A and B are shown apart, each in its own frame.
Chain A
Amino acid sequence: MSKKFWQQGEPFVWATGLALSLILFLTMLLLYVVIANGLMVFWPKQVALATLSDGRQLLGEIVREEVIPGGQAKRLQFKIGNRDLYGLDFKWVDASSITSMSFPQNVQVLERQEFGNFYGFLSELEVKGLAPPATGSNSLEQTIAALDSRKKEVSLLGKKIANLNRRVEMIDHRLIQAHYDKEENTPALAALQGEKEGLKTEFEALVGILNEKGAALATNQAIFLDANGRTKAIPLVNIVRSYQPNAMSVLAKCGYYLERMRELFLDEPRESNTEGGLFPAIFGTIMLILLMSVLSFPLGVLAGIYLREYAKDGYLVRLVRIAVNNLAGIPSIVYGIFGLGFFVYGVGGSIDQMFFPERLPTPTFGTGGILWTSLTLGLLTVPVVIVATEEALGAISPGIREGSQALAATKLQTLTRILLPMASPGILTGFILAMARAAGEVAPLMITGVVKLAPALPLDGVFPYLHLDRKFMHLGFHIYDIGFQSPNVEAAKPMVYVTTLLLILIVLLLTSTAIHLRNRMRQRYSVTDV
């Protein structure tokens, strides 16, 4: 019986099924961890007030609960915040030393510009130049909202100053250029100098106003009490958001959640990236992938076409093919090093010498930037596109080519009108794989242009709009940075989950767009021939 049993292939079917289930299980586990943790980050958590056996009190979110190794006793981890008061955000407490625990309605949680969250109770509002604050549970929120217009004014001033700065910088560039060209005492130069002086005085005046207004704003503050009654004055401008989680209804919590989401997608990061939004990183990631695609897709397709359609099949072509196939196996950091050496220092350095010699030794293109990173990533993904193109073209039956050429089409016409449309689904499949790989790469980015915090986006409203020489932020690097490089890893953990989830979503979005495109192509050029 056993021989027949084996021959029937039952065990083989089981083995295939098992292999698939194992892979599915691991993938699902990964996704579950990321999604479960990532989605919960922004949901407001209850804040507990714990009284310890020595009489001290503790206010914070319960983050984790675990059994102390080697016993039955449990311990709890609290996020107590108030880094400026206590030094540490987190605290482990033995469950046995907690005598009582409550969830007071009036606990106030503050998200601040610096020092992380504050947990405490509102004691008093000290506000100047505003109508006396209404009393009641939401007086703090109302007062903060009342300061809004003045805050906006200040931030507008900041933007104006940044603009002035940029203009001064541009004049500086021109002056340096003039100096380099040995141009002196010309009227144009004098005019530039004059303009610069004018801008400088304007700049100083604005800074003066800004400081004044900022100081005036900062005098509006609120006094808070921590769990043990210590007072702490916090300027209202430093409060990003304040809420009372224990008193919030589900609807209010949803509102809070949405607000945090909005911040995540549209705002800049704060506190060395562990708080605030991810907008620059999202922008950088998408732009990098698109730029990489624009560079590598046509190159790979053309190379693949040459290899399959034009190169004479022989020893050399086979060698090239093997080499191309193996390129995909080179560690990505090696590509990064190559990118740094060749693109950044080699190409970028030469560009600087040729076009921006006056700025040296300050590099313009001879330093990491989004262009070099895209090129490096493009190099890394191009083999996949080449192989996919070659294979897709090779899969088309020779009868189709002959049919087209017999109708007096040239090779090029056959290629563009028949072969490429037919091969496009296959090429796109390869491209999707390449794109997904590129989106998840971090190592080569780190040495060719990604930074922790970029001062400006690579695409903005300032001429020439597209600044390919600029450094940029990236979600993948962000994960590494806040997860492993930040001074406060524990506090950054939620953000790691959120960033990971976001990166996965972006990759999913881009690839599913490509898949949609491919399916449409496939429908149009399907060959259901026998």
Chain B
Amino acid sequence: MPRSDSAISVIENPQVVIKDLNLYYGASQALHDLSFGIPAGQVTALIGPSGCGKSTLLRCINRMNDLVDGLRVEGSITIDGENINDPTLDVIELRRKVGMVFQKWNPFPKSIYENVVYGLRIAGIKERTTLEEAAEKSLKRAALWDEVKERLHQSAMGLSGGQMQRLCIARAIAVSPEIILMDEPCSALDPRSTARIEELIRELREEYTIIIVTHNMQQAARISDYTAYMYLGELVEYGPTQQVFTVPVKKETEDYITGRFG
């Protein structure tokens, strides 16, 4: 049985299936033969040393890499049975379905309210009540509502870093995606903000499929259901978090998790 099939078959009924994925930045290959399945309604963590290709992989899932010059992708990624690398696929539709939160928060220089409803406005929704309800709901889900409800129409640039990151999360969930990609959402935050966002991720799990990149082992252990360990663009180990952290199959995984490497 080839390795790729075993990694996919870890999950029953995966929502996202990555199969034989190779990715090249010009001449240099960043991802090697990745194959695994990601379950719906769960949190999947991507861990691995810096430069191993976690962000690159994440950005493949909503085709954010389209923006990069000279990038080439081989293999397939299917979401709900649809190959998203198909050139005829509507990228806008895809991104509506797959939201993303970046490592560096990037609110727009607009008001808090406008930030949250940006995606809805882009989708063509104009009714004020719909927008207002969606904004309130998303801000509440992102645990930001109480802090900003008095200043919805002030600039988002006046928020703290942690608040901005939660705003970016609210912005992403406002358009009701099915999958949310998070690239080290807490890497620049203090422990309290981190705790709030972790709490948020656990709550969001009920409604969304979450794929999160993190360098923080405890965090991966705390919030994720499945963990994938990557090294130099290859998938080393993948399985339920419990198993990866307590009885890893590979020696490298254990070294990395326990901090002897990486």
Contacts and interface: CB of A to CB of B under 8 A. Distances in A.
Interface stretch (A40-48, A184-192, A234-242, A522-530): A522-530
Interface stretch (A77-85, A151-159, A397-405, A475-483): A397-405
Given A413-B122, A528-B157, A406 B95 contact: yes
Interface in A410-425: 410, 413, 417-418, 421-422
A209 interface: no
B119 A407 contact: yes
Contact of A406 (B64, B107, B121, B155): B64
A526 B156 CA distance: 10
- In which size bucket is the chain A interface? 20 to 34
A354 interface: no
A207 B179 CA distance: 87
A418 B161 contact: no
A435 to B, nearest CB: 26
A399 B102 contact: yes
Contacts of A408: 92-93, 95-96, 119, 122-123, 175
Given A399-B102, A526-B157, A528-B157, A407 B171 contact: yes
Contacts of A404: 108, 118
Interface in A168-222: none
Interface string B235-246: 000000000000
B100 to A, nearest CB: 4
Nearest to B168: A403
A409 interface: yes
Interface string A275-301: 000000000000000000000000000
A403 B122 contact: no
A405 B95 contact: yes
Contacts of A400: 106, 108
B22 interface: no
Nearest to A407: B119
B172 interface: yes
Interface string B92-105: 11011001101010
Contacts of A405: 64, 67, 95
Contacts of B107: 403
B224 interface: no
A406 B100 contact: yes
Nearest to B155: A526
Given A526-B155, A529-B157, A407 B106 contact: no
B62 interface: yes
Interface string A49-88: 0000000000000000000000000000000000000000
A409 to B, nearest CB: 5
Contacts of B75: none
B156 to A, nearest CB: 10
Contact of A407 (B67, B95, B104, B158): B95
Nearest to A399: B106
Nearest to B188: A530
11 contacts: A313-B69, A403-B102, A404-B108, A404-B118, A406-B95, A407-B119, A409-B118, A410-B92, A417-B121, A417-B122, A529-B157
Interface of B: 62, 64, 67, 69, 92-93, 95-96, 99-100, 102, 104, 106-110, 118-119, 121-123, 155, 157-158, 161, 168, 171-172, 175
Given A406-B102, A413-B122, 15 more contacts: A397-B106, A399-B106, A401-B67, A402-B100, A403-B107, A403-B171, A405-B95, A406-B95, A407-B122, A407-B172, A407-B175, A409-B118, A524-B109, A526-B155, A528-B158
Among all A-B residue pairs, the 3 with the closest Cβ atoms: A399-B106, A407-B119, A403-B106
